[in-house]
Amino acid sequence: MGLHPSDILLGYEKASRKVHELYDDQVCYTLKDITNYDEVLKCMKCSVMSKQFGLEDLIGGLIT
């Protein structure tokens, strides 16, 4: 195709820098107080839901 492997590598490095610039703005919720049970439970339920859908209330409460 006429591309040298070093050109492809430069493209990946440029894309990586751009992703790292945009990454910090991609936060939808920030935990403000780690000792607040309800706030931590909200975060735990989201994490557990991605693996054990339907058991997020039970397992999230146990973890929290």
pLDDT in tens, 5-64: 999 999 999 999 999 989 878 887 788 888 888 888 888 888 888 888 888 888 888 888
pLDDT, residue 14, reads 96
Write the secondary structure of 1-64 as one string of H (helix), E (strand) and C (coil): CCCCHHHHHHHHHHHHHHHHHHHCCCCCCCCCCCCCHHHHHHHHHHHHHCCCCCCHHHHHHHHC
